[in-house]
Amino acid sequence: EPEVTQTPSHQVTQMGQEVILRCVPISNHLYFYWYRQILGQKVEFLVSFYNNEISEKSEIFDDQFSVERPDGSNFTLKIRSTKLEDSAMYFCASSPGRHGSPLHFGNGTRLTVT
Amino acid sequence: AQKVTQAQTEISVVEKEDVTLDCVYETRDTTYYLFWYKQPPSGELVFLIRRNSFDEQNEISGRYSWNFQKSTSSFNFTITASQVVDSAVYFCALSESYTSGNTGKLIFGQGTTLQVKP
């Protein structure tokens, strides 16, 4: 069964550095998402992406964040100037886009900002 | 505004006990979908079930069953004869219809940590 893949599984970075988290969604899916889960807390929506542009974003997704689908297969989340509070598990998800389709999640990237 | 509440933060049971995880949701939409996801200790999010707002039939899949009641805005999840492998965090989630401008995103509850002891 096709799956969403995320790399790296764990990323350690220093405060103030930029990080790029990578995702390869399921190939025939049309909607892409990033979520964040701070340790022990709920899974929070960051952004949805459709037709090569952001279709919705949460208030967490401020100017520090950006997303891109550079080559038609990868879907990236860039965090500029990371802060300690950006430490979390970041999940990528994709969906075929049919109404009510479940989101298929990757295994996540654990980001640790020191 | 859409909201999902899972009031039970942690539940601990002994193996073979039945356990019900509660989920209450809020939405102004008449068309919406409800989901349950499992997050085992390894961390991934595993889709368990989807229910649409027009289908209030209960569903059973093996030891898992789901009770959807629109009148109380609840979508509860019961595990019968729990096993140690059921130990995980379980999330209930809501998705509103695309016609209300939603992009298919899921809004998650806070999660319920289930510990099943041998």
User: What is the C-alpha separation between A34 and A55, in angstroms, rounded?
Assistant: 12
Q: What is the mean pLDDT of residues A55-64?
A: 94
Contact A108 B43 (CB under 8 A): yes
Residue A43: list chain B partners with CB under 8 A. 45, 91, 108, 111
Query: What integer pLDDT is reported at residue B57 of this predicted model?
Result: 83
A55, A111 in Cβ contact below 8 A? no
Phi, psi of B99 (to 5 degrees): -65, -20
Q: What is the mean pLDDT of residues A38-54?
A: 92
Q: Is the pLDDT of residue A69 over 80?
A: yes
> Residue B79 in 3-state DSSP?
strand
Contact B106 A89 (CB under 8 A): no
Report strand pairing: B107-108 vs B46-52: unpaired
Query: What integer pLDDT is reported at residue B98 of this predicted model?
Result: 63
User: What is the C-alpha separation between B49 and B34, in angstroms, rounded?
Assistant: 8
Q: Is the pLDDT of residue B100 over 70?
A: no
Cis check: omega of the bond before A96, within 30 degrees of 0 = no
Closest Cα partner for B116 from B74, B85, B94? B85
Q: Which of A24-33, A51-60, B53-62 has the lowest mean pLDDT?
A: B53-62
Q: What is the mean pLDDT of residues B96-103?
A: 70
Q: Is the pLDDT of residue B118 over 70?
A: yes
User: What is the C-alpha separation between A58 and B45, in angstroms, rounded?
Assistant: 20
Residue A77 — very low, low, confident or very high, per pLDDT cuts 50/70/90?
very high
A79-97 exposure pattern, b = at least 16 Cβ within 10 A, e = fewer: beebeeebbbbbbbbbbeb
Mean pLDDT taken over chain A: 93
Residue A103: list chain B partners with CB under 8 A. 47, 104, 106
Contact B103 A103 (CB under 8 A): no
State what percent of residues in chain B have pLDDT above 70: 96
Q: Which of A45-54, A81-90, A96-105, B103-112 has the lowest mean pLDDT?
A: A96-105
Query: What integer pLDDT is reported at residue B99 of this predicted model?
Result: 64
Q: What is the mean pLDDT of residues B10-32?
A: 95
Two tokens, residue A52: 């090569």
Residue A54: list chain B partners with CB under 8 A. none
